[in-house]
Amino acid sequence: MRIFAPPFAVAAVLGLIAASAHAQGAPVQDSGDPPQASLLPPKVMSTEHPDEEAVEPYARSNANAGAAPFEGTALYEAFHGAGGVSRIVDGFVQRNITDPRIMGQFAATDLVRLKRILNEQFCYILGGGCAYTGRDMASSHAQLGSQPADMAAIVENLQAAMRDEGIPFATQNRFLAKLAPMKADVVTR
């Protein structure tokens, strides 16, 4: 009969042995770092937004948002203003990071920054008068290797978030029509 021990069980046993060796005063090399910490690059936080990770400097421009805004504030109001946009962004991001089709691409993402910048982008495009301070679509997606199917998943997740906010289908589509041409910049494979 073959005895199967999953790797975590082996690791747990090794951990116990190491712990007991330590307790008995056996020499244990101590780097002073918490376990694993030395394997990760140190996080550098932004000075402007201390709860966000710093990003490489880039030129800021509303043009980075990737689409011209709608005239007037009617569409922004139809999205229930800042509160509506914020709820849609939260629902959208939550779906993306739990969607098995695309969640891997968000694994290294600073979600605090992502949500702030998406709020700015949606508000700017919908005519809410916000400034967009994020990166342009091509450079912010260049490393992800997204495919056309990933874009379809993103659109589905955004549709679901807008539906949850009670945005009428035709109103959703007016916004999606602004985002659709960005596919050329975000899909790289």
Q: Please give the DSSP secondary-structure letter assigned to residue 103.
A: G
Question: Could you tell me the smallest distance in angstroms from the CB atom of residue 1 to ligand HEM?
Answer: 45
Joined together, the tokens standing for residue 148 give 């056309």
Neighbours of 55 (CB within 10 A): 14
What DSSP string describes 98-154? H-TTTGGGGTT--HHHHHHHHHHHHHHHTTS-PPP-S--HHHHHTTT---HHHHHHH
Residues numbered 64 to 103 that lie near ligand HEM (CB under 6 A) are 102
Residues numbered 164 to 183 that lie near ligand HEM (CB under 6 A) are 179, 182
Binder among 85, 89, 117, 161 for ligand HEM (CB under 6 A): 117
Q: How many binding residues for ligand HEM (CB under 6 A)?
A: 21
Burial of 117 from C-beta contacts in 10 A (0-12 / 13-18 / 19+): buried
CA distances from 111 to 4, 9, 40, 92, 184 (A): 38, 32, 18, 12, 24
Joined together, the tokens standing for residue 74 give 């009617």
Q: Contact between 154 and ligand HEM (CB under 6 A)?
A: yes
Question: Could you tell me the smallest distance in angstroms from the CB atom of residue 112 to ligand HEM?
Answer: 11
53 by DSSP, 3-state: which?
strand
Q: Contact between 126 and ligand HEM (CB under 6 A)?
A: no
Binder among 105, 119, 157, 172 for ligand HEM (CB under 6 A): 105
Q: Tell me whether residue 140 or residue 172 sits nearer to ligand HEM (CB atom).
A: 140
Q: Are 144 and 105 in contact (CB under 8 A)?
A: yes
Q: Contact between 121 and ligand HEM (CB under 6 A)?
A: yes
Binder among 82, 97, 106, 115 for ligand HEM (CB under 6 A): 106
- Span of 21-29, 44-52, 117-125, 166-174 interacting with ligand HEM by CB under 6 A: 117-125
Q: Are 167 and 115 in contact (CB under 8 A)?
A: no
**Most distant CA atoms of the chain, gap in Å:** 73
Letters for 134-153 (x = contact with ligand HEM by CB under 6 A, - = none) are: xx----xx--x-x---xx--
Residues near ligand HEM (CB under 6 A): 102, 105-106, 109, 113-114, 117-118, 121, 134-135, 140-141, 144, 146, 150-151, 154, 179, 182, 186
